[in-house]
Structure 1
Amino acid sequence: MFVAWLSAGIIAMGLFCLWTRESHLPIFRRLLRNDRLGKTVFGLASILFLIKILQLGEADFGRYKFLLVLIFGFSLLGCALYWQDFLIVRGMVVLGLMGIQAALDINFATPDLVRPWISAYFYLWIFLMIYAGVCPYCVRDILPYLYQSKASKMKYLGITHLMYGGLLITLMLCCHE
């Protein structure tokens, strides 16, 4: 079931990439600089991250969890108060990485033939999210790059997602008994 939902999500992302046009670029740029939305997403991500730290067990730095909550809490608060550019990107990175951790945990229950393909997809997203978290302004700069040529790179990205989603569905059907 996880692979079916993941494949549907990848295919939906591919269709979204094929659907978007260069005329949508100003909307994406405004969203990246929207203060209210940025503070909301970053605040939600911060709260969920601190809750995740509070749930650490003894083996996962559980002995130091209150110290970690203080350190990360003050750094998140400082980021929200003094470093407010692209808060939405930082919040989406935190939410995305937490979601990927849950998805990789679920991935252990998938068949052996499908597992490396799903892991590779998520590890690519981890790399991209860490890069976006370190350089959030690059998210703003990469959007025009994706639409530059006549044969838009965004279309290639959409076709790649459609093919990858189809590959996961095919592999899952081959494993299904």
Structure 2
Amino acid sequence: MSLFLATFLTGLVLLALGSWFLWKGPSGQSASFAWMRSTPAAVVLFGAAAIWFLWHVAHLGQADFGDYKQLLLLLFGVTALGSFFFVKDFLAVRGLAVLILLSARPLLNAAYMQFDHPQRLLMVAVVYLAIIAALIIGASPFRLRNFFTWLYAKATRLKTLGGILTAYGAVLFILSFTY
């Protein structure tokens, strides 16, 4: 992935998320809470995360447990499938966390050793913050629900976060064209 595409996509995601909070405001509260325990959202998010992770396992090299690739595929595949039956609560949030962690690698790789573009650090900073958030919500997915409860308690918090995300996304979107 090129640095342009990594910054462009990160900017678009932030623009979309910030616009959701600004545009929907308090009326979007039910949708913001509903997806976390939604079965269709879990199938899409956790299913995509499981497929992407299993693809990585299938392409392990010799130095990365490549001899046990089939066993690992079976073990992780059964675990992912079993999650849909035994760990249904907040499965969509866990899937989102895994997708964030898996998508961080190509984004950070795009910015690696690009010293002639110091503006890349604006994108990299957001990716590292997303990694921290993904680790927190992946380990304790109810914390995302608690965050949304806090966020929607006051409209000013919602508008402030939406404004910050939209502005930062716009900056990244524009910066992507400077490479």
The alignment's TM-score, normalised by the length of structure 1, stands at 0.82
Query: Which residue number corresponds to residue 134 of structure 1?
Result: 139
Contact 2:14 2:165 in 1 (8 A): yes
Choose the corresponding residue for 1:123, options 100, 111, 128. Answer: 128
Question: How many aligned positions are there?
Answer: 174
Higher relative contact order (CA 8 A, sep 6+): 2
1:34 aligned residue: 38
Aligned residue among 104, 107, 112 for 2:117: 112
The aligned counterpart of 1:148 is: 153
**1:18-33 maps to which residues of 2 (within 5 A)?**
18-33=22-37
Q: CA deviation at 1:154?
A: 2.0
8 Å Cα contact 1:18-1:155 kept in structure 2: yes
Question: Unmatched 5+ residue regions in structure 2?
Answer: none
Query: Structure 1 residues 46, 149: CA separation in 2 closer, same or farther (over 3 Å shift)?
Result: same
What is the CA RMSD across the aligned residues, in angstroms? 2.5
| Paired position in structure 1 for 2:55 | 51
TM-score by length of 2: 0.81
How many angstroms does 1:64 deviate by?
Answer: 3.1
**Cα separation, 2, equivalents of 1:58 and 1:20:** 49
Q: Report if the CA contact (8 A) 1:113-1:171 is conserved.
A: no
- The Cα of 1:52 is off from its aligned counterpart by 1.6
Partner of 1:94: 98
- CA distance, structure 1, for counterparts of residue 140 and residue 51 of structure 2: 22
Contact 2:25 2:155 in 1 (8 A): no
2:73 counterpart residue number: 69
Q: Which amino acid aligns with 2:73?
A: V
The residue type paired with residue 126 of structure 2 is: Y
Q: Partner of 2:63: helix, strand, or coil?
A: coil
Identity of aligned residues (%): 31
More helix by share: 2
SS at match of 2:153: coil
